[in-house]
Each structure stands twice: as C-alpha cells, then as structure tokens.
Amino acid sequence: MTLKTLLTTAVVAFLALSGVNASDLKGRGASFPGPVYKSWTSEYFATTGKKVNYTPTGSGDGIKSIKKRMVDFAGSDKPLKAKQLAKAKLYMFPSVIGSIVLAYNIDGVKDGELKLSRAAVDAIFTGKATHWDDTLITKDNAALKLPHEVITTCVRADKAGTTFNFTYFLNKINPDFKVSKKPTWKAAKVIAGKSNSGVSANIQQIKNSIGYIEYSYKIKLGLPAAQIENKEGKFINPTVASFQDAAKYATWTAENDFYAVIGDPAGATSYPIVAATFILLPTEKTQMNKHVTAFIDWAFTNGDKAAVELGYVPLPKETKDTIRAYWEAKKIK
C-alpha cells in the first residue's frame, strides 16, 4: 500500500470519526433526573450506537446553556412559562416525574422513623425550630429520642429546579416563603452543596443534618428519609407507590408547552413533594431536535423499567402520546 493510499485512508477514517462525534447529542442541566438520564443514555447507546452526553449541572445552568445555544438540549425541573419560552425561542415538554425527600443524619433514627408535620418542615427551614428536640418536631415523634443538637440544613448552592420545587411546597405551607431556585435561607445552620449529589454528600457527612434531595439519591446512598405530612394531614413515606398516587393529579396540555407544577397534590395517599422534569429545545434547530426527540421517544418506549427501579414515575401513556403529537406539530419528530 502506497503512502498516498495510507494517507487517504487515514483522512477518510478521521472524517468518519469526526462525523460520529459531531452527531453526538450534548445536553446539560437538572441534576434531579440525572440518575435516570444516565441509565437511559447508556442503554440507548448500547441499543442504537448513538451517543447522548448529559451533564447534571443544575436547572439554572441548563436554562442558561440552552438560551446561549451551548448545548443541543437542556434539562430543567423548573418549567418555563409561555412568555419565557417565546422570548428564548424554546420548546418544552416533560420527560419523567420524580420526588424530593427530606433525608437526615440523626444517630439512632432509622429510615422512615422521623415524622415531619407541615409546620415542622416550615419551622426547620425558616429557623423557627433550631434544635431537634423542638416541640414542633417532638410532638409527632414521641417514640424517638431526638437530641438537643442544632439542626444543620443542607441546601443547594446553585440555582436549582429541585430547590424551586421544594420551595413551592414550602410556599404552600407558608405563603411568606417565596418560591425560588436560590432563596435566602434563614434556618439555624445552613450548609450548601452543588447539585443533588453535593447535598447528599453533606447529609452523609454531617451529624444532625437534614436536607432536600431527589429520591434516587436517597436510594443510591441508603440515606434515611422522613415521613412528610401531606395536605390531607396524613404522614406519607416516600415510595414509588405514593409518588404514583401523587402523579395522577398532574395536568398537561400541549397548548402551554406542558407547563405544570405538581407539588403538594391532593389525595390521602399522595406523597406531597413531587415534580416533573422537563426537556428544553431550541426552536430553530429542527434537524438536531429530531435526534433529541428520537432519544426521548426511545426512552418513553423502553425506559420505564429503569425509571421505576431508580424511584421515578414514568409519564402515563396518554401524556407520552400527547407529547409525540406535540413533536409532530412542531415538525421535530
């Protein structure tokens, strides 16, 4: 084989490889769905040979990145309203439903043993209750020996959709608490961590701490989590079944790009802190969007088992079909 032939072969191989890399999908944003997206992208590659790279950097970063067109798609747990989508020239639709748990690190208190009323949750995160043996907490936990130790609240350092959805729940309890991706916390002692993994790590390491994290991080790390009082006055353990009961109250319409906040749903058996997570796409990138929707369509068809195993709730078939019709109407399928 001549040198010229070798060089030609090398150039062709390089161009082919470049073409493959250029077609890889790049996404970033919400860490809330990070575990299920990791599972989906891995299985999608194994099945189709098509690579999707998703970096769980937080919803705020995801929104910023897609607005600047730094990525092909973004993940956000905070849904954007119609005016925001129109201004940024974005499409939006949900991908899966998850939940937020209050995980804790208290010696002698096992998973599910701690019960937190709505008043107690508000008191902890507003600083009204500074120690674990505060009467607002102990009155529902007579069987537990809660220590006279300062409560360390573990929160997000970054702008986060998880925080948006958690503060949405707090706002339902206490209207003075403003819904925000990055609020000013007034708890007794606050430690901030980046992403769900960072908050989870802080809870693991800090005694007498409590923090809000996505359920799959609790499962992965074996963290204990509290029963939370729902709006019907029932203390509910975080389980896939209680998340599914809550998810039934979600309402979606394609007309407003599926904008919905599910937090604090009705129902005696509903877990009270659930949330959908969303995909954001740039309206002008029709061909690239078709690659993204092909991946999500694959996940809708093949990814429910992985989602349930990780503690998420797959979207109902009717919702998936409505989303597929939305893609077709936007010519991105």
| Per-position DSSP letters for 218-274, written without gaps between them | HHHHT--B-EEE-TTS-EE---HHHHHHHHTT----GGGTT-----S---TT--S-E
pTM for the complete prediction? 0.84
All domains of the chain, ordered by start, with CATH? 3-97+249-264+275-329 (3.40.190.10), 100-247 (3.40.190.10)
What is the rounded radius of gyration, in angstroms, for the C-alpha atoms of the chain?
Answer: 22
Q: How confident is the prediction along the chain (333 residues), in pLDDT tens digits per residue? A: 554 444 444 444 443 333 334 469 999 999 999 999 999 999 999 999 999 999 999 999 999 999 999 999 999 999 999 999 999 999 999 999 999 999 999 999 999 999 999 999 999 999 999 999 999 999 999 999 999 999 999 999 999 989 999 999 999 999 999 999 999 999 999 999 999 999 999 999 999 999 999 999 999 999 999 999 999 999 999 999 999 999 888 888 999 999 988 889 999 999 999 999 999 999 999 999 999 999 999 999 999 999 999 999 999 999 999 999 999 999 999
Residue 188, SS3 per DSSP:
coil
C-beta of residue 97 within 8 angstroms of C-beta of residue 305: no
Helix (H) and strand (E) counts for the chain?
A: 13, 11
CA distances from 321 to 29, 82, 143, 181 (A): 25, 21, 48, 30
Residue 143, SS3 per DSSP:
coil
